[in-house]
Amino acid sequence: MTDFTLDFQDTATAFSDKSDAELKEKYRLFSMLNSPAVNAFGTRAAKLALSLGLPVKGLIKSTIFEQFCGGENIDECSRVISRLAASGIGTILDYSVEGKSTEEAFEATKNEIIRTIARAKGDPHVPFSVFKITGIAPLGTLERLSSKKKLDAKSQAKAERIHNRVEEICSYAASIDQPVFIDAEESWIQDAIDRLAAEMMERFNRDRAIVYNTFQLYRVDRLQFLRNSRREASAKGYILGAKLVRGAYMEKERDRAAEMGYPSPIQDDKAATDHDYNNAIDYCLKHLDKVAFVNATHNEYSTQVLVRRMHEMNLPNDHPNIHFSQLYGMSDNLSYVLAKHGYNVAKYVPYGPVEDAVPYLIRRADENTSTAGQVSRELDLILRELRRRGLK
């Protein structure tokens, strides 16, 4: 059999919906992100300026916010949803407000997550919804639950409220047949998240995957955890929903492990992460009758691995249990080329008030800087398209 691949260097397809002016602006922004010093100064200066009440919101919104976010509210995201849909790409609305800590804020975030699910109802262009448990739960309670420490009455009440919020979100998603992702987070709170996700999958994934847990393959234990999760799902008679990612907290995880004197949960090197990630793809494909999964990566090689395996197995490009996903504003060469060839692909589209989304944008900028070569690859693709259009 011939080696089947897609041309992810096809910049004409990757930037087909970008005007010349938009492409030039994208190039300017990624040039800034490619400089760690400028990147660090710019993002933190933006946070400081907002905290001081300086009139910089419009500048932030028209530059980095517009590049990585869909809008300040669900309605503002409609333009991005329609634009992506025109190229065959779905939208995953991601309410990206972080750092809240009051019960009132957690309830407000839960209600907004439910609104994103309601917006997705019946819209094939919004195939998934998503939420982070830390958006609706106090970190300290999640950490105590994960370490299995005995809870006092106050913590027990908080734990019950966390459970109720997660249950309300997933129950609503199931009632309208709308799949929802539960994002992965730091290892020291992940056990509580995993247990909540497993409970929700057991309840709501009987006929199809409604709830998806997220598996961070940069952790040394996650490939085995994926296998265990599939076996548990099979034993209890439900479909495993699995979103495969490499991971987003590497420096924080390693620093905490070193500081507290326990073995780092993170793989020793990128090769080990890649090995486990690609094995996770193979594992999900092997059990496709009982697993629905999302290849959520910006890694071109892993994307080719899945495309090639699907071809070898004679699976349709739009198989209902296989999806691809990338972040809005990143890796358009993967998303648009996959969509052109009829694969199920969707972009994570964060949204929220500019001032509340700045922590997300800072984290995104930090992740992009720490991901070897990611911004440079983006710049190279943009530059090649500018040259193809005769603009450079």
DSSP string, 76-104: GGHHHHHHHHHTT-EEEEEE------SHH
What average pLDDT does range 48-73 have in this prediction?
84
- Going 139 to 143 to 148 to 150, the CA torsion angle's sign is negative
Among 203, 265, 270, 194, CA closest to 237: 203
Percent of the chain with pLDDT over 90: 80
What's the confidence (pLDDT) of residue 375?
A: 81
What's the confidence (pLDDT) of residue 32?
A: 81
What's the confidence (pLDDT) of residue 56?
A: 77
Give the pLDDT band of residue 98 (cuts 50, 70, 90): confident
Burial class (CB in 10 A: 0-12, 13-18, 19+), 150: exposed
pLDDT at 361 over 80: no
What's the confidence (pLDDT) of residue 304?
A: 98
What average pLDDT does range 80-87 have in this prediction?
98
pLDDT at 157 over 90: yes
From the CB of residue 359, how many other CB atoms can be counted at a distance below 10 Å? 15
Distance CA 47, CA 133 (A): 24
Q: How many Cα atoms sit within 13 Å of 341 on the Cβ side? A: 21
Among 94, 106, 69, CA closest to 362: 69
C-alpha distances (whole Å) from 93 to each of 71, 96, 97 are 10, 9, 12
C-alpha distances (whole Å) from 161 to each of 5, 141, 237 are 48, 11, 28
CB 110 within 8 A of CB 117: no
Q: What six digits make up the tokens of 286?
A: 């092997």
What's the confidence (pLDDT) of residue 114?
A: 98
pLDDT for 192-204, tens place per residue?
999 999 999 999 9
pLDDT at 2 over 60: no
* Residue bearing the bigger pLDDT, 45 or 288: 288
pLDDT at 321 over 80: yes
Quick one: residue 360, left, alpha or beta (phi over 0 = left, psi -120 to 50 = alpha)? alpha
Residues in the chain: 392
What's the confidence (pLDDT) of residue 385?
A: 97
Distance CA 136, CA 179 (A): 19
* Amino acid making up residue 49: A
What average pLDDT does range 344-349 have in this prediction?
98
What's the confidence (pLDDT) of residue 1?
A: 43
C-alpha distances (whole Å) from 333 to each of 13, 70, 135, 326 are 7, 19, 31, 10
Residue indicated by tokens 């009758």: 289
Spatial neighbors of 380 by CB under 8 A, at least 6 apart, are none
Q: What six digits make up the tokens of 329?
A: 């504003």
Give the pLDDT band of residue 369 (cuts 50, 70, 90): low
Q: What six digits make up the tokens of 201?
A: 């999958």
Q: Where do runs of H (alpha helix) occur along 261-331?
A: 270-286, 300-312
What average pLDDT does range 74-101 have in this prediction?
94
Distance CA 210, CA 340 (A): 26
pLDDT for 266-304, tens place per residue?
999 999 999 999 999 999 999 999 999 999 999 999 999
What average pLDDT does range 313-338 have in this prediction?
97
What's the confidence (pLDDT) of residue 55?
A: 77
From the CB of residue 228, how many other CB atoms can be counted at a distance below 10 Å? 11
C-alpha distances (whole Å) from 292 to each of 133, 144, 225 are 21, 31, 16
pLDDT for 127-139, tens place per residue?
999 999 999 999 9
Whether domain 71-354 has CATH 3.20.20.220: yes
pLDDT at 38 over 90: no
pLDDT for 169-225, tens place per residue?
999 999 999 999 999 999 999 999 999 999 999 999 999 999 999 999 999 999 999
- Indicate the average pLDDT of the chain: 93
Spatial neighbors of 35 by CB under 8 A, at least 6 apart, are none
Which of the 8 DSSP states describes residue 150? Answer: P
- Domain map of the chain by residue range? 71-354
Distance CA 56, CA 64 (A): 12
Q: What six digits make up the tokens of 315?
A: 């699976």
The pTM for the full model equals: 0.94
Tell me whether strands 90-95 and 211-216 are parallel, antiparallel or unpaired: unpaired
What's the confidence (pLDDT) of residue 194?
A: 98
